[in-house]
Amino acid sequence: MARSSVAGPSRQRVPAPSSAVSGFNPARTHFALALPVLGAADKVQVWDVAADSVIAEFELPGAAKAVSVAWSSVSSSGSTKRRRRRKSGSEAAGTDEDVLLVASIKGDQSNLAVYLPSKGEALRTISLPGKVTAMWSDEYGVIIATESNLLVLGPEAAAIAHTFDLPSSVKAPSAVALLPTSTGEELHAIVGAKSVVAVHLSTTSSSITHTSSPLPVSTTSVTSLQPLPNTQQGASFLVVCEDDRTVNQYTFPGSPTAAAKLSYRYTSPTLSPVHSVALSDEFVAALHDDGEISVFPIALTDLNFARPKSNNKPAKVKLVEGKEGKTASICRVEFAPVDDGAPAVLSCGRMVGGGRVKWYSATIEQPEGGLATNVVVKTDAQDLVAPKDTAKGSNNLQRYTAPAHAVQAADDEKDESAAALPADVDMADLTLGERLLAAPTGPQPNGDAAAPPAKGATTAASLTRLLVQALHTSDPALLTLCLSHRDPVLIRNTVRKLPVDLSLPLVKACVERLGQGKGANRRGGGRGGAQNEQQGRGTVEWVKGVLIERGHILMTIPSLPGQLATLSNLLASRMELYEPLVSLSGRLDLALSQIALRRQAAEAMEVDKGDGEHYVEGESDDEVPIEVGEEDEDDIEDINMMGGSSDDEDEDGDEDDSEDEDESDDPLESDEEGLLDLEAEESDDDEDEEGDSDDE
């Protein structure tokens, strides 16, 4: 007997976030990613790549949306620190600490938040003029691009030190970077939109000393600019464009003020566009949107500006998941720090759902030297994370664990904070008086009658306490009272304040109630096999709120597919009558439209026909004058005063004609009369001839 598959949540491909909202620290040991949260502010998580764990989490203030993420460094003693160049292997940073810079926007306002992941602290928030579009940070400084300005961040990421106006040829740049020819007194920036412009910024005079002519690079927007190490042939940089599978290399031949020229092309045979690039001293790794990675040897020498060379045979790296061997979704790749002489290793961050990233290592270099042609890393299709010290054959799985450092933005709602709520379920019991105060008041949004009114308005904090009590004691009446609320804002706020451990029990309770009829908890089991439309609408709002607010936590629970499978089957049974009802509704609409058209046609005919005009003597407004004068006798017509005589004569004439026609209708009678006439004429002729002969 064939084994039937269990209905559950679909395993769709998780799209990779934009490369602008993610980045590695200078040592390439930590990774930051800004994740969007529906209905709330974006959250920035910081991973320890080697430990494969989240070490810090920050929530952007003011429900803002992250635009760009970059790393810088500050000194604990307050001195300015210039970042060192990347080298193979990890180096001690002394007292300098890495800080995370997150540029965000909310409406027309832009801010720069500075976080310290090692301590889980939010250092400061800097207000920025204009809408931020891109940001870049390296050993020469931090530069921020807005729609009309270039901003240079001051020492210790304390404030904006310099502001430069963008040239008129560049508006709303989508990428910005600093060339390795920059110095402490002059920054050589490249700004990209659909074309690239080189701008030299003087930090001593706060002025622009050089602006190049626009260099057309693509018909689409530039998503990333990546400078390459400086060589004798000039300063080079890579350009990654939207919907382009080729990475182009441009070089300023000889001097940074010279016009940039195309010098090399990195072309991948895959049709998927390039998402982001990673650099090492010897290789260039291009991550594509479909999850495939192309690795090329870097080209810094023997560049031909007249006829640029191209490499279309890269080494391929791929992460596959499950028995089917599907390509995994990767959010970012970077060359891992290795010892001198060790093969090159790529760190690949695989998106596993729920905003989680799991890290894998792929060795791309062979021991004898040279790139491996095809590297495939097999991963487990199960999204659950197993701890590394788990014994073989054990089913223990790592549950959701909060990061060591988490910074939550202040809540705009004037209500009790979530931290003030009891995390221990045993301590969340309520008294009868608190239950009555937390009861819902007023009519619900759908017009149904609410529970008995209370004196105070229902808040998220009071409803959270009541819901915790209902789930802990499995009180069906109390749970019905809680789930009777259908305000989406109140539901979302309540779920946010709900303890994490009660997320799955709440989903399970909602699914069970969707399959029950009215009064299912009463004696006799109630009526109906499931909730009606009005009852199910509120329950679905609660399920939606839990999946949105706690979806990333629910994905780590093994029993979730079973609960969602029950929900899926229940929704499928509800949708069985949808198509027949839609068909019936269409027929009824067609019939009603035909009836309306016929009615309109009949009314139009009555209007056109009208009732006619009736003349009433003495009431006519229009009087026709009668002309009085002499008339000729010829003009006077004879008037037959015998009424109907002409008609009688006409009728008599018609009768005579009809009689003549009737008499001539018989052919035999007409022939006999003809013969008699001929005989009479012959006899008369004979008599005349005899008379003439006698006279003679």
- pLDDT confidence band for 362 (50 / 70 / 90): very high
Between 23-27, 183-187, 630-634, the lowest mean confidence (pLDDT) is in 630-634
Residue 360 domain flag = no
Tokens describing residue 76:
């604990």
Residue 318 domain flag = no
Which pLDDT belongs to residue 218? 87
- The rounded distance, in Å, linking the Cα atoms of 183 and 177 is 14
Residue-wise pLDDT tens digits, 255-268: 889 999 999 999 98
Stretch 632-645: mean pLDDT: 50
Name the packing angle between helices 476-483 and 503-514 (round to 10°): 90
Is the per-residue pLDDT at 470 higher than 70? yes
DSSP, residue by residue, 220-251: S-EEEEEE---BTTEEEEEEEETT--EEEEEE
**CA-only gyration radius of the chain, Å:** 47
Residue 32 domain flag = yes
Is the per-residue pLDDT at 56 higher than 80? yes
For 138, residues 6+ apart whose C-beta sits below 8 A from its C-beta are 83, 177, 178, 227
Which pLDDT belongs to residue 309? 92
Residue 41 domain flag = yes
Residue-wise pLDDT tens digits, 652-666: 555 555 455 444 444
Residue 308 domain flag = no
Last residue of a domain, one of 112, 135, 158: 135
Average pLDDT, the chain: 75
User: Would strands 53-59 and 405-407 be described as parallel, antiparallel, or unpaired?
Assistant: parallel
Number of structural domains in the chain: 2
Stretch 654-679: mean pLDDT: 50
Stretch 381-389: mean pLDDT: 49
What's the domain range around 551?
Answer: 413-578
- The rounded distance, in Å, linking the Cα atoms of 328 and 310 is 28
Last residue of a domain, one of 114, 135, 156: 135
Which pLDDT belongs to residue 446? 44
Residue 527 domain flag = yes
Which pLDDT belongs to residue 181? 92
- pLDDT confidence band for 238 (50 / 70 / 90): very high
Which pLDDT belongs to residue 532? 62
pTM of the model: 0.58
Residue-wise pLDDT tens digits, 89-110: 444 445 788 999 999 998 888 9
Last residue of a domain, one of 135, 170, 194: 135
Which pLDDT belongs to residue 92? 43
Between 137-146, 283-292, 346-355, 406-415, the lowest mean confidence (pLDDT) is in 406-415
Residue 115 domain flag = yes
Residue 516 domain flag = yes
Stretch 586-599: mean pLDDT: 89
Give the closest residue to 10 by CA, choosing from 656, 682, 564, 629.
Answer: 564
Which pLDDT belongs to residue 145? 94
Stretch 208-226: mean pLDDT: 91
